[in-house]
Structure 1
């Protein structure tokens, strides 16, 4: 993957997770809900195992998840980290807006 593609994907993931986090924080009236949900989203993105297999076959699903997480490339880790930073920034922005008196829903 080229540096331009990595830059564009990083910006897209930041904006995507910032927007989703901002909307969820605004609608659910909690500040860090997307930061808590983010690891589940990462599991959905990275792993090929269905979510039900974590409950029905945990002995096979969790080692497969660990294997997939260990085998991530540096570019993928950077992009997912920047997405997580987007969720954190959305929580900070919601806190600042609430402190300044803006009421959202």
Structure 2
């Protein structure tokens, strides 16, 4: 199924805002500026992969092989959407750093 350009842009914007907001809140509460940028790859794996999380420990070779296959078979639109989510997570860390540097102490 093909995705129109309007749906792609809206999806990218939603992922950017969603992960910026989640990252901003986590950064305020946990006082760790890059927490969402560290957690985001795990979230992306959980979004893309169909394997249960426990199988990465019980059947590692097959689970990671299937993960590599799933990532290599992603469409360009899916990659752009996931990258925009990562960008939102990174921008939230940058914004928190700038706010703390300028004297705003959140929680």
Normalising TM by the smaller chain, what interval? over 0.9
Aligned with 2:55 (options 45, 53, 56)? 53
Aligned residue-pair number: 105
Please report how far the alpha carbon of residue 23 of structure 1 lies from its aligned counterpart in structure 2 after TM superposition. Answer: 0.6
TM-score by length of 2: 0.96
Aligned with 2:45 (options 38, 43, 46)? 43
Q: 1:95 and 2:97 equivalent?
A: yes
SS of 1:26 mapped into structure 2:
helix
Distance 1:92 1:16 in 2: 16
Please report how far the alpha carbon of residue 59 of structure 1 lies from its aligned counterpart in structure 2 after TM superposition. Answer: 1.5
Distance 2:45 2:32 in 1: 23
Gaps of 5+ in 1: none
Distance 1:32 1:59 in 2: 30
Gaps of 5+ in 2: none
What per-residue deviation string (whole Å, max 9, x for no partner) do you get for residues 40-98 of structure 1? 00000000000000001101100000000000000000010011010111001001110
TM-score by length of 1: 0.98
Distance 2:7 2:15 in 1: 12
CA RMSD after TM alignment: 0.5
Q: Which stretches of structure 1, 4 residues or more, deviate above 4 A after TM superposition?
A: none
Distance 1:10 1:65 in 2: 22
